[in-house]
Amino acid sequence: MGHSSDQPDQLESYRSNRALFIALLILLAWLPFPLGSARPWAWALMEGATMLLLAAFFITRFRHQRVLPKIVYEVRWPLYLLGLWLLYFLVQVIPLPMSILEVVSPSAHALYSYASIGEVREMAPLSLDVHATLVQFLKISTYIALFFLVLCLTDSQKRLILLATVLFYVGFVQAVYGIFSHFSFGLLWDPSPSNLGVAGTYGNPNHFAGLMEMTISIGIGLLFSKMMTKAYYPNWRMRLRSLASAALDRKNSIYIFIIIMVGALFFSAARGGNIAFFTALFCILFVGVFRKGKQSHEWQLLLWVAVFAGIAILWMGLGGLQEKLIRSGLHVDRIPVWQDTLGLIGDYWVFGAGGGIFEWLYPMYRENYTGGAFFDHTHNDYLELLSNQGIVGFLLLMGALVLLFVKILKGYLKRRDHAMRGIMFAALVGGLSMLIHSTIDFNMQIPANAAYFYVLLAMGVAATHLKYKKTRMKKRRQQAVEQSALPDF
């Protein structure tokens, strides 16, 4: 009898969990559209909605006395490091006695002393701009919360595939809109002021390229679940006919969508994004071929990737590289900015000058000529992280990312489930591409792209684990469906 009395509670928990998952899908689908959520009102909406979802998740868990999913405990060390990294932002805004500040950050102490001429300052924080650091703290809190929510709410393979599909279609819509707006001669709104390349609803083609890198990777990952063992074709004509019939099949429209999205990536003229994407793609495909051999899905994809990479090289051209890099946004001015940033890092190399401080502190270190341009970011996420948080914050974040990538890579090389291997492939390619692109741009400072990066990593981690929950999930769903006709996702 006790079992039957528990069923209504299980059904209510299932419904709550499903509602939260749907809300998460809607939020993630929205993020790229308002200029990549790179405006205060847009990222405030992202932060508020995410924290409401997180609060609702914990309230639901507490009411139904449910423990956290096993996967959360399996990645506890990366989560600990991310938590410490987040906590470090708050450490930077805590006022310290000036005598202690002089020891831990002599440059900050000297700056505060200079600004306090004529008055005695007894306390001061590590951060030179507390407000900017707190703004950054809220953004990072949101990314980590989204990472956590994806881990907890994508508790079945169907949900994980649904989430991947939604993100892929978001990328496709952005690509189609970007192509039409760029070539509409002013008939459609194009938010990119430079109009040098396809930008979707982003203000910069380079950041649009960052979104394409991740969503195209997801699309290729989704293909893994559709690909079969390599068939034998006696000649190239039969192979071409087979590929054509597969592409025209409605179920395989994903091929057409990926081609359109790759085209949008080309037309963005973001050389850094294209180079990063194809480099990451080749690296992960090579690892897969090395591990699985010529019968692997990776080997089937390798030829097509080589074709697209060749088209990209021909499209962008190799002549007059410096002039083309300037036109496409990879400014030679960035090198002097990086050199100046090294001077900033040298003064605050241990604890940093404070999260989000770069744009206000950089003018003090601007020695090399960079024209009249204003730099609110250093166009290198690693240098900016070091200037803002020093080696302490850098090691905390990089340590967490390395552990997450290692876990996903191990799962990718061991699992045989095509669908889950596809999700891990997407996480590895999309994540690595963003990390490479971050060496010459600041995609991680664009809220939508940073959020998608962490969501993609969470999806990859979830894909390593779901096989252990399959039986239990099936049972729970069966019990819920017996009580009510609920859609099975």
Taking only the tens place, the pLDDT of each residue in 225-272 is: 766 444 445 555 665 566 556 555 555 688 889 889 998 998 888 888
**pLDDT score recorded for residue 197:** 84
**pLDDT score recorded for residue 471:** 44
**pLDDT score recorded for residue 167:** 98
Strand partners, 123: 97
E strand segments, 119-278: 123-124
Distance CA 201, CA 189 (A): 9
Bridge-based pairing of strands 96-97 and 123-124 is antiparallel
Distance CA 226, CA 92 (A): 49
Closest residue by Cα to residue 177 from 163, 193, 189, 167: 189
Distance CA 134, CA 93 (A): 8
Amino acid at 240: L
Strand partners, 96: 124
Q: Going by C-beta distance under 8 Å and a sequence separation of 6 or more, which residues neighbour residue 421?
A: 224, 297, 412, 415, 463
Distance CA 78, CA 70 (A): 14
Q: Give exposure, 4-27, as e/b (b: 16+ Cβ within 10 Å).
A: eeeeeebbebbebbbebbebbbeb
**pLDDT score recorded for residue 484:** 47
- SS3 state of residue 471: helix
- pTM as predicted: 0.87
**pLDDT score recorded for residue 466:** 87
The stretches in the chain having pLDDT less than 70 are: 1-14, 117-118, 185-187, 192-195, 226-252, 292-333, 368-374, 467-489
Element (H, E) at 303: helix 297-316
The 3-state secondary structure of 411-425 reads HHHHCCCHHHHHHHH
161 with 134: CB under 8 angstroms? no
